[in-house]
Amino acid sequence: MADRYLSFTGTAPGRFLTRRLGLPRPAPLRRWSPERPDLDGGLLHLTAGKSDLDLAPVLARTGPGTDDTTGHPAAVVLDATGIRDVEGLAEVHAALHPVVRSVATSGRIVLLGAPLDPADHHQAAAQQALEGFARSLGKETGRGITVNLVRLTDAPAAESTLRFLLSPRSAYVSGQTIGVDAPDTPAPYDVDRPLSGRTALVTGAARGIGEAVAETLARDGAKVVVLDVPGAEADARRVAERLGGTALPLDITAADAGARIAGALPDGLDVLVHNAGITRDRRLANMPAERWIPVLEVNLASVLRTTDALLAAGALKRGGRIVATASIAGIAGNAGQTNYGASKAGIAGLVRALAPHARSEHGVTVNAVAPGFIETRMTAAVPLFIREAGRRMNSLAQGGLPADVAETTAWLAHPASGAVNGQVVRVCGQSLLGA
């Protein structure tokens, strides 16, 4: 369903009324397209504190990739990895205070921080302060500008993450803190089609967000396997045919689902996207077991079983990627969704616990995306006032699109994203709930 309020605020009467009444004024977001794959404008690289990072080669290959000379940068990168005390935070203020108003519409501000040092509580306090600073700034900037914090120790390890955050692909990702550690050297890949030669399986891919994820992974070169329940086989085959992939009709809750997936992919799997999910909303006092059990079974238990089976069978190749779908409901909670919220919080627990073992034992990373309000057929059926509240209660004052979740998934699936592991990344426009 079209966001008519967003369209109205782009008109002269809309701008006048929203300004007079103090209403949200969302800016149309610049998303990726083949015609405009990069942000429009240059990059401003700033430093606060003494940094040991050599960022210049990495920044030259990512995002705008050139120094800003216009005075209105499309992106600002502030290296604050050297901040070790409260006094150093004054340099963060001094660096960004003069330029924050000049960032272009739909621009990007990325802060770079260091991991917290458990042996130095002053450093830990100052670096943790960057998180509160970034989230607060993200709620101030407006005009479609996003603000994120990346914690890193190695600049090349963060290249795929910076490329994502400094591009139109990250239009609906803001207020996030993303940890990047030092990865193994990625296998060679095609910059324009990084998933070429790789096989990706997406569950619940016959429609909605799953279809968008399958489409984006195919765009990036993957051979996509479109998995959905037998009842959606016709839609799954339609999607697979359009993307040059294959359909796999299968009930993901079946006890042998993992074995059947492995059997259908004798050459192995490079990317596994757990997207399938259902809702059976009702307040707990009115929720019978018949509404509780299916949600936990589809959204969480099947993910655990299938992942365990595929890892045990060696079906996921070294360098593989597992991306699961959590939800803002699992972070902030949502009335009427104790079952759904529990299942999605469980996904976050799975990711954080499994990630270190999966990488050390199998060479596979495990991450999750946590969508907020995304414009789908399901949210279009939500009552008007609840739908409008969902759209506006984030820093960008609008709903996201399935493509936003898909682009984030594609970044996590990238061959060069091996340094990103155990992360739960919200795709919610910096929701005011659970932020």
The 10s digit of each residue's pLDDT in 377-407 is 777 666 766 777 788 889 999 999 999 999 9
pLDDT higher than 60, residue 2: yes
Please report the pLDDT score of residue 67 as a whole number: 67
User: 199-427 sits in which CATH class?
Assistant: alpha beta
Taking only the tens place, the pLDDT of each residue in 128-187 is 999 999 999 999 999 999 999 999 999 999 999 999 999 999 999 999 999 999 877 887
Taking only the tens place, the pLDDT of each residue in 266-283 is 999 999 999 999 999 999
User: 31-179 sits in which CATH class?
Assistant: alpha beta
Please report the pLDDT score of residue 65 as a whole number: 62
pLDDT higher than 80, residue 60: yes
Please report the pLDDT score of residue 331 as a whole number: 93
Indicate which residue of 5, 172, 189, 340 is catalytic.
Answer: 340
**Rounded Cα distance, 429 and 146, in Å:** 8
**Rounded Cα distance, 89 and 97, in Å:** 12
For the chain, the domains span 31-179, 199-427
Q: Is the pTM of this model over 0.85?
A: yes
Using DSSP's 3-state secondary structure scheme, residue 89 falls into helix
Please report the pLDDT score of residue 176 as a whole number: 98
Is the pLDDT higher at 322 or at 67? 322
**Rounded Cα distance, 412 and 418, in Å:** 8
**Rounded Cα distance, 410 and 407, in Å:** 5
pLDDT higher than 60, residue 435: no
pLDDT higher than 90, residue 351: yes
Domains 31-179 and 199-427 share a fold: yes
Is the pLDDT higher at 65 or at 174? 174
Asked if 189 is an active-site residue, the reply is no
**Rounded Cα distance, 28 and 190, in Å:** 31
Instruction: Give which of 294, 304, 383, 385 is closest to 340, Cα–Cα.
Output: 294
Residue pair 43/61 in contact (Cβ under 8 Å)? The answer is no
Residue 284 backbone dihedrals phi, psi, to 5 degrees: -55, -40
